[in-house]
Structure 1
Amino acid sequence: MTRMRLILPVLAFVVAAQTGLPVAVGQLAGGGGEVSPLQAGGAEALAPELKKSLDAWEDYIHYLRVANLELATSAGTAFLNAEMAPEQLLNIIEEYSTYKDYDTTLTRAEKLEGAAGQLAKDISAKISGARLDVAREGSRIRQSIELLDDGLRHRVNAQARLKRAGEYAAPQLLAVLLSTDPTDQQLRPYVIETMVELGRPLVAPLSVSLSQLPAVAKQQVAEVLARIGYPLALPYLKAELDRKDIQDDTRKVLNIAYTRILERTGVPASTGADRLFYMLAEDYYYGREDLIAQPDAPNNLMWTYESGSTLRPVEIPTPVFIDVMAMQASRRALQLNPDLSAAMSLWLAANFRRENNLPDGASDPSYGKNMRSPMFYAELAGPRHLHPVLQRALGDEDPALALDVIAALNATAGTYSLLNIDGDIQPLIQALSYPDRRVRFEAAFTIARSMPRASFSGAQRVVPVLAEAVREQASDYAVAIAPDTEALNNVSGLIQAAEAKTQILLGNNVEVAAAQIATAPGVDVIVIDLPVDQAVAAVANARRLPKLSATPVVVLAASENIIAVNRLLGQQPMVIVTDRAAEKEKIVEAIKQSLASGQGAELSDEQALGYATTSLDMIKSMVLTRSPVFEAQDAQPAVVEALADKRDPVVLGAAEVLALMPNVQAQVKLADAALADRAPALQVSLLQALARSARLNGNQINEIQLRNLMKLVQSSTGPLADAAAEAHGALNLPTSNAVKFVTTGE
């Protein structure tokens, strides 16, 4: 290589070898770089393979800067694939390289498209990983701390390395403040300044340690926290101020630090430590960015400081870090105020979410061996604390959490507490309109199982949701609302383009379509094409009908009215507003999106079957108990439709329900199913259900069905003949049929 940029590093090592003096590459390159102790030994510090890695790194940064991506990619790939220990890698790029400002170049390269951008990201990840590995080495951190009082140049370099170590340096920095060793005592002023210099990464470990420190160290740490000024320290400082055993001089320092930070936050001065910890827990729960030191790393650190111990980091998998920290802060709030119900609810929510978000195969070391399952604590806490958790889950659009809480409510709550009759919120009722069908179904099952004997607000929503669960694999039904035939045909065409198997109910308004809606098994989407005022009224009227209370809606609006309609309807859940003049494909996509929004996660065949059969059991129970609250008859269209289901358990469950329903249509539809060509075992069960219907409600079938039943009695044999005969007898048909069989010997 002939470029001076590449020759100079070699000259540096030659000079070092010949003179025995350490020479920094940056000095020969005109960078005015400072000699690091890590460079002592000159050329001997780099073996030939590491020298190749240095050359590859230098070439990579150079060619990035001159925009030669082909050569940059070649050099960068060589550097990425080179085998180096973490400290060797960092020495190359931070000590021996002439490019001290490589960060800017690498950051820009990460924004490149294609392979060049990905390569830059991979190299950045490798450097970050090396920094973490080296930062964890206590010897390197201790070496840097010892250099803090060894002159300005060494101090600057040492502080830079400690800054890269970040929060990993906290235990050893704090150990210097606690040490009685004369050498460490001499380092204290420099350590305190370095702590302030390191700033925010040290706030969490220092705050956690505050309660366990002796008076002098407590004052020093409080001063550091005040100078850093990061609000995370507030609850810890306030908790110390509230202690009775704090000496006056220490209390004074703590109060100054607390007040100084408080003034920057806008938090009322009267806020107690319990509320401050709860506020911190909320910030963690919602993942405030500045609270996560390394969002892209596989793990983040939780700090502990037990009495008689030392500051200790605990590696928490990053996907659950905010949940673990929310639990820690909630626990501190409860320790200070056991009556802080909101903190208990937040702890339960974070614990459920921690379990849901923990990656497969990962473990959470913060969750001790003696800890029970999240469900144990949820059931132990009871409905009072669970309702706010469910409210949070619904508001955060977290279906996994919602399902966990509903399961806990199902296991613990009676009707009164289940529905939170005395509470300000009724989240279980709200869950009946939640976009994810799994949440709707489980909420309906939980309410139905409680068998309420007195009506309540929202009771009318339960049966439509049960009906929806029954017909999970049936055809979709849509309601088209438009002012005239031409517009209705246009809307119908759009719906059919979105979902071919959809059956469409038409009307000029919701009231006109109401009769069709009442007899439909359910409605999966509503598409409205009306003037603004009428569209708003149509949505409001739809929501008043139990069957449409949670149905997704698409509103077509004129281009000039989009803003107005969005303002009036766009913020409502399950409502999409789209431009009537848009391309057909865009409108069709909006309808598809709306249909999907009412379904949530895909259900497996097993899950769908489980929901359908459970729902049929719930409806059957309502009929058997003559529920004074739920109108089981409202589910009859869906139950009738289920007789044609391809899943035998669903067909049998529907037959059992219809056998109990005391109306003509139920028995007629059941007879149609029983007399149709079916697999023998299934037909036997259907005939038995028809017999039960006849015993309970009398003979309500028509003449054609009677004749078909007689044909079956005459032509069948074995169990099928027995079942047909049972139905014949239960329907109280003429005895002449039986006489004929006896007298003819058939």
Structure 2
Amino acid sequence: MMIRGIGWIVPAMAFTVLLASNSSAPAQEAAGEAPAAVQKNSATLLEDNPLLTEPRTPQTLMDAVVLMTDLARPGLARLYLEKLLEANPDDETILKLRDKHGPALFLRLSNDKRLQPESITLLERVNAAFRKGATDPVRVDKLIGQLSKTAAEREVAILQLRNAGSYGAARLVAALSISRDQAQRNLLLYTLTRLNREVVPSLLGAVEGPDSDLRATVIEALGWLGDPQAKTALWHPAFEESQPPAVQLAARQALARLVFGDVKRVPDVSQFGAATELAKSARRNLRGDEVWTLNDDGQVELWNWDAAAGTIAMTPVTVDVASIRMALRQARQAFELAPNRTELHALYWTALMASELRESERGADISTQPGSAFHVGLQLGPEVMQAALVEAMSLGEPLVAASALHALAQTGSVRLLKATEGRPAPVVAALNYPDSRVQFAAASTILTWDPTTPFRGVSRVIEVLARALNDTGKAHGVAIDANEQRATSMSSALIEMGFEPEIAQTGQDGFKIAAERGDVALLLIEANVARWELSQTIANLRSDARTAYIPIVIYGDDKLRTRIERLAESYPRVRFVLSISDSTVMAKQVAAFLRTANADAITQPQRVATRKAALDWLTQLADRKQASLFDLKPAENALLTVTNDEELGDSAAYTLGGIATPSAQAKLFEIGTSAARPVPIRQRALAQLAAHLLRHGVLLTELQTDEFRKAARQETEPQLQIAFAATLGSLQPDLARASGVLKAVPPRGAKK
């Protein structure tokens, strides 16, 4: 009887006796626990050895390891593993062992605790040798040269090329790109079809190559390999009009094999739905939903055509980079297959802008230079850019959506505000998109169009501006916790992360702070929050456009983890962390989450610029005839606060003049009569107060008007005396008060 994989013969009867003598081995050995035999010395182990001849070479030692593992003799298996490692075989020998037994065996041995740590060491040696050998072009080219030798040598070479994976495929493609001998090309094609499916991603890189013959050959190989993942990449070469006939035919034949399993069904391969399938795949990549195979470093090995090398080359990239590159390619291919579809124009532009934004630094301004994605968008027209806005919002690309809105501000018009099929116009819908930058861009776009008639959602414009005005210019974090000591610790963690801290005791109070302020960039919520309880607090925060985008961290005891993580899975940008009293450790936990949840957050300079722009719009609206269309009252509280700002206070006071409320008039009165304010600001406030009084009547209390007259009498600054005088006249004094003013005038024209 021949034992599998071993070159020594054990008589059948002896083998039967051997099995019988070992049938009473302890159950713990079969169960994976370290058997007592493992603890014996080598001499004792060898006494029970079923082998008639001791293995000496690395090949026979590895065979013995496999046999002893199959016979449930881990002690002997580990002994031979030790001897194999002591022999220190070279990389070539290691690779021969891998070729013979396959990579899965070494992984299985490494997971057997009874064979560790030797089995793990062996796996590392095998992987290191494989990586070195697979990427050695000299070794791989030597294998390719052996393809032309005897049938036996060819099979051995194909086996080793298969084990070389994508690197072997790359050298085969290189050989194809320079070969002009048809017999050799056929042999290389045959070899490609014999490789494992793991090479398909690398071969897809050659589909984008410049040589049509090479592309057709590689595409034919992809059809024979039969991996469905190649299907999406073949629609474009099969049906795009500019593709060479040989490439089109090869791609259609490959699709016939992949879709129908029969090359004879080429006539059944239709372009119908091809562009749609490519578009779906592009959107999946833009959303980050594509599943990628990662290497040991957690990166994607992306293969593309390298003109300098004359073959495909691998570049390790992050998942995000791989996704955006693939999305860009697929969106372009979908557009080229169906150039008459507006939504595919929009998808391609969306991918272009997303790619450009990812290459720019965080906080950088959108490039508007000729050739930039924005410059291209301006030329596409408002219909395409409106579709791009919809695309970007549905894909969760806020910066792309904001860019589309900026383009629409220059190319669109008020006709795009019209609701269709009972749904608000895309620009109006953007006012409620869960990102403050998109909301503000939408409000700015609408105001740029200068509408004169009401439209659905008109009230949101001022609400968005008011919230932007409530942004102090620095990111705030809110800790929601009823426990004062714990809330203080969370406040310290917020400070360590660079946030201005705010504390709320209830979910309702925390929601109110986050909804009113425009600068809240993080919410820390204690798991046992009350009024509202946790699930209601999270639901309300995520359903309100003002707070839907703010990252949320829930902290609590580990026993709550399962329940809260299940809740967090239902919402975007929500994470559970352990409650830790050490603010520094807590800050590190939260910071790790923010790196992914808030990677493209608005920067401080952008906050400052947005706040100023919001005030500029409100100031313009206070001057416009459309003040009745855009009611400024929702911005009143924000304006009242900003009047205390040294830089923006003057403009805020001016804008208050357009709001017909007693509080707005009272604030202008307060600024105008405050001796602590600079003279120019007081002058502006008094002028606005006069205009407010004329436009909306006297809304001050009697006490306030008396205080105003008193302040006017006591004022000594000539410029302010004039401003006070104009405002006093706006109070519409009766004849008695007017008589008093005239009587106080010294007689003029009298002789001295």
TM over 0.5: yes
- Measure how far apart 1:99 and its partner are: 10
Change (3 A) 1:126 1:610: farther
Alignment of 1:295-314 (within 5 A): 296=298, 300-303=302-305
- For 2:643, the equivalent position in structure 1 comes to 643
Deviation at 1:655, TM superposition (A): 0.9
2:716 is the alignment partner of 1:716: yes
What secondary structure, in the 3-state scheme, does the structure 2 residue paired with 1:626 have? helix
Could you tell me which residue of structure 1 aligns to residue 691 of structure 2? 692
Mapped pair 1:653 → 2:640? no
- CA change 1:642–1:148 in 2 (3 A) is same
Trace 1:271-282 onto structure 2 (pairs within 5 A): 271-282=272-283
User: CA shift at 1:373, angstroms?
Assistant: 0.4
Q: Name the structure 1 match of 2:74.
A: none
Counterpart amino acid of 1:282?
R
Distance 1:526 1:243, change over 3 A: closer
Partner of 1:163: 165
Q: Deviations over 1:151-194 (max 9, x none)?
A: 54561575157525155335324336x52276x35844653445
Size of the aligned set, in residue pairs, is: 613
**Deviations 1:206-256 (Å, cap 9, x if unpaired)?**
434599238xx84x5454212222234335655565589999999987655
Q: Which residue of 2 aligns with 1:379?
A: 378
Q: Distance in 2 between matches of 1:164 and 1:92?
A: 25
Match of 1:41 in 2: none
* Deviation string, structure 1 residues 449-475 (Cα, Å, up to 9, x no partner): 333333333333222222111122399
Matches of residues 78-477 of structure 1 in structure 2 within 5 Å? 94-95=91-92, 134=135, 141-150=140-149, 152=152, 155-156=157-158, 159=161, 162-163=164-165, 165-166=167-168, 168-169=170-171, 171-175=173-177, 179-180=180-181, 184=184, 187-188=187-188, 191-194=191-194, 199-208=199-208, 212-213=212-213, 218=216, 221-235=218-232, 237-238=234-235, 242=239, 257-263=254-260, 271-286=272-287, 288-290=290-292, 296=298, 300-303=302-305, 320-358=321-359, 372-417=371-416, 421=420, 426-473=425-472
Report matched runs for 1:559-598 at 5 Å: 571=570
- Code of the residue aligned with 1:275 in structure 2: it is T
Residue aligning to 1:618: 617
Contact 2:352–2:373 (8 Å) recurs in 1 = yes
Alpha-carbon separation, structure 1, partners of 2:431 and 2:477: 20
- Structure 1 stretch 469-478 or stretch 352-361: which is displaced more? 469-478
- Aligned counterparts of 2:418 and 2:176: Cα–Cα separation in 1: 52
Offset, 1:427:
4.1
Query: Matched residues in 1 for 2:460 and 2:298: separation?
Result: 44
Q: Tell me by how many angstroms 1:392 deviates.
A: 4.0
CA separation in 1, counterparts of 2:643 and 2:166?
68
**Residue number in structure 2 paired with 1:668:** 666
Per the TM alignment, residue 353 of structure 1 is displaced from its structure 2 partner at its CA by 1.3
CA distance in 1, matches of 2:192, 2:516: 74
Whether the 8 Å CA contact 1:147–1:158 is kept in 2: the answer is no
Alignment of 1:542-557 (within 5 A): none
Secondary structure of 2:59 counterpart:
coil
Distance 2:89 2:61 in 1: 14
Give how far 1:294 is off.
9.8
Aligned equivalents of 2:110, 2:744: Cα separation in 1: 95
Cα distance change of structure 1 residues 687 and 240 upon mapping to structure 2, 3 Å threshold? closer
Alpha-carbon separation, structure 1, partners of 2:203 and 2:170: 12
- Residue 58 of structure 2 corresponds to which residue in structure 1? 30
Q: Within 2, Cα distance between the matches of 1:701 and 1:353?
A: 53
| Matched AA of 2:157 | R
Matched-pair contact (CA < 8 Å) for 1:238–1:272:
no
Whole-angstrom CA distance in 2 between matches of 1:688 and 1:248: 78
Once the 2 structures are TM-superposed, how far is the Cα of residue 338 of structure 1 from its aligned partner? Answer: 0.8
User: Given residue 639 of structure 1, which amino acid in structure 2 is its aligned partner?
Assistant: L
Q: Which moved more, 1:348-357 or 1:435-444?
A: 435-444
> In the aligned structure 2, how far is the partner of 1:633 from the partner of 1:414?
26
Q: Could you tell me whether the CA contact under 8 Å between 1:419 and 1:428 is conserved in 2?
A: no
- Inter-CA distance 576–328: structure 2 relative to 1 (3 Å threshold): closer
Closer, same or farther: CA 33–198 of 1 in aligned 2, 3 Å = farther
TM-score (norm 2): 0.61
**Alignment deviations for residues 603-626 of structure 1 (CA, whole Å, 9 cap, x no partner):** 555433332332233334444223
Shift of 1:376: 1.5
Decide whether aligned partners of structure 1 residues 126 and 495 sit closer, same or farther in structure 2, where only a CA change above 3 A counts.
Answer: same
- CA pair 144-728 structure 1, distance change in 2 beyond 3 A: farther
1:680/1:260 Cα in 2 relative to 1: closer, same or farther (>3 Å)?
same
CA distance 1:699–1:542, change in 2 (3 Å)? farther
In structure 2, distance between residues paired with 1:629 and 1:522: 24
RMSD over equivalenced CA pairs, Å: 6.4
1:541, 1:161 → 2: CA distance?
Answer: 53
Structure 1 residues 538 and 320, CA gap change in structure 2 (3 angstroms): closer
State how far apart, in whole Å, the 1-side matches of 2:281 and 2:337 are. 14
Report Cα offsets for 1:53-72 as digits up to 9, x if no partner: xxxxxxxxx9xx99xxxxxx
User: Which deviations, in whole Å up to 9, do the C-alpha atoms of 1:516-554 show, x marking residues without a partner?
Assistant: 99x98999899996799xx9899899979x999999999
- Which amino acid in structure 1 is aligned with residue 161 of structure 2? Q
Unaligned runs of 5+ in 2: 1-54, 63-77, 83-87, 112-120, 263-267, 363-368, 492-499, 556-560
Counterpart Cα distance in 2 of 1:126 and 1:718? 88
Q: Following the alignment from structure 1 to structure 2, what is the Cα–Cα distance between the partners of residues 264 and 706?
A: 94
Cα distance in 1 for partners of 2:550, 2:667 equals 27
Counterpart CA distance in 2 for 1:247 and 1:654 is: 65
Deviation digits for residues 469-517 of structure 1 (CA, Å, limit 9, x no counterpart): 11223999999xxxxxxxxx9799999998898798999x99xxxxx99
**Once the 2 structures are TM-superposed, how far is the Cα of residue 570 of structure 1 from its aligned partner?**
9.1
- SS of 1:31's equivalent in the other structure is helix
Q: Contact 1:643–1:655 at 8 Å: present in 2 too?
A: yes
Is the Cα contact below 8 Å between 1:348 and 1:378 reproduced in 2?
A: yes
- Residues 470 and 639 in structure 1, CA contact (< 8 A), matched pair in contact too: yes
Tell me which amino acid in the other structure corresponds to 1:300: L
TM superposition shift of 1:666: 1.8
Amino acid aligned to 1:347: Y
Aligned to 1:50: none
Do the aligned partners of residues 32 and 291 (structure 1) sit closer, same or farther apart at CA in structure 2, a change above 3 Å counting?
Answer: same
**Counterpart in the other structure of 1:55:** none
**Aligned-pair distance for 1:696?**
3.7
Q: Distance in 2 between matches of 1:324 and 1:280?
A: 12
Question: 2:432 aligns to what SS in structure 1?
Answer: coil
Q: Return the alpha-carbon distance in structure 2 between the equivalents of residues 634 and 148 of structure 1.
A: 79
**CA 1:498 to 1:726, structure 2 compared with 1: closer, same or farther past 3 Å?**
farther
Distance of aligned partners of 1:192 and 1:506 in 2 relative to their CA distance in 1, 3 Å threshold:
closer
Contact residue 695 and residue 730 of structure 1 kept, 8 A: yes
Q: Contact 1:662–1:697 at 8 Å: present in 2 too? A: yes
Unpaired segments ≥5 residues, structure 1: 1-26, 35-61, 67-90, 110-118, 362-369, 480-488, 511-515, 557-561
**Which residue of structure 2 aligns with residue 633 of structure 1?**
633
